[in-house]
Structure 1
Amino acid sequence: MSIHGLAVVANNFHLFLIGTLITLEITALSVGMGMILGLLIALMKMSRVKFISIIGVAYIDFFRGTPLLVQLMLFHFGILPLFFDTGPFVSAVITCGLNSAGYIAEIVRAGIQAVDKGQMEAARSLGMTHTQAMKFVVLPQAYKIVIPPLINEFIMLLKDTSLVSVISVAELTFRGKLLYSTTYEPVWVWGTVCLLYYVVTKSISMLGDWAERRLATE
């Protein structure tokens, strides 16, 4: 380690912060997409219509069973260009969102199944349709159950966004690579990258713990 390395970090710290913000932006957009699509996939997997259930299972198996790095290559260089011209950022959000949906679908499914079946039966006996009972009775209760694993999924995806650097998205890891390639200060550069990831993930984890305690008192 050297004074030169410290100067490199100090002079370029704003670049690290910009990279961190881009990392958070990708993560937030991807998880948002993943939550919407994940709920749909979870309901498809739980469907009594076999064909729909098979599609849900196949989706989850594919995105949970293949590496995110390979998915990024497949969608950015292969599938997405067939339909429209996307930049690396959009490709990263779409791919990470599709990947996250596979994991969130299982989280949501587990949350729904954790709700007492008597809740659905009671709602149906009051004249609600299955959709109404799911929307107004089951899902609000499942929401409290899935908050902790959803926070964990957010943290896991945030760390996985380091992989989008391979398609030239200028997030935190990509900026670390650029700075290291010109300064050759591995300890200072990568140490700073690690520290920023840790600070962000720890902050999110603490926020999740706070939310869990709040929900437990309601």
Structure 2
Amino acid sequence: SCGMMAGVVVRALCVTVLLGLPVTQGGISSSFTNTVCQRSGSGCVCSTTSTGLVVECSSRSAETLFPLDLPSQAVKITLRNYNVFKIMYEDFKGADLLQELNIINCGVQEIGDWALYRLTKLQKINLHMNRMTEITKDDFYHMINLVDINLSNNSISTIRGDAFYSVHNLKTLNLLGNDLNCNCEAKRLKEWAYLRTGKVTVLDAC
């Protein structure tokens, strides 16, 4: 019955919260008039620059999930001090104009498979001060317009040697402040950067 189904849904939500499992987090709104830019107390500041709409959001609590109503028109989004845990495809679906994404000190541990793949205009991504432990070849798969990736001050120990093979225009990769395992995979990464004839600068401790 409908009543029984509603009860099941409520109990499922309660179990999710009690167990501390990841719940639905942020997202993009296609609305022009009902976003964080118009919502009072959103913790976000929106401004228009020569390149387009810039959105900067900051939370006072590390337990806060990032906003569900980020504007799809943004060319730059900055999120600080939110509880993100895992970047999912749905989080930035529709942000077709996004050129720069900064997710700083948000507890990110993982990037979902191809989660950023459709952000075709993205040129810079900054994941400084999160909790990532490894980088796989699917994290930045075929993001051909990315030129700058900042993964500094995470907890990255493992990185695939081919993790950035499909990021054809990459110029700077910042891995400083991580506890990298300088193994054969790290060597493959360095060899790849070298073979790019100086086009890629890798900042790391290996």
TM-score band w.r.t. shorter chain? under 0.3
Name the larger-Rg structure: 1
**TM-score, normalised with respect to structure 1:** 0.23
Instruction: Work out which structure has the larger RCO, using CA pairs closer than 8 Å and 6 or more positions apart in sequence.
Output: 1
Bigger share in helix: 1
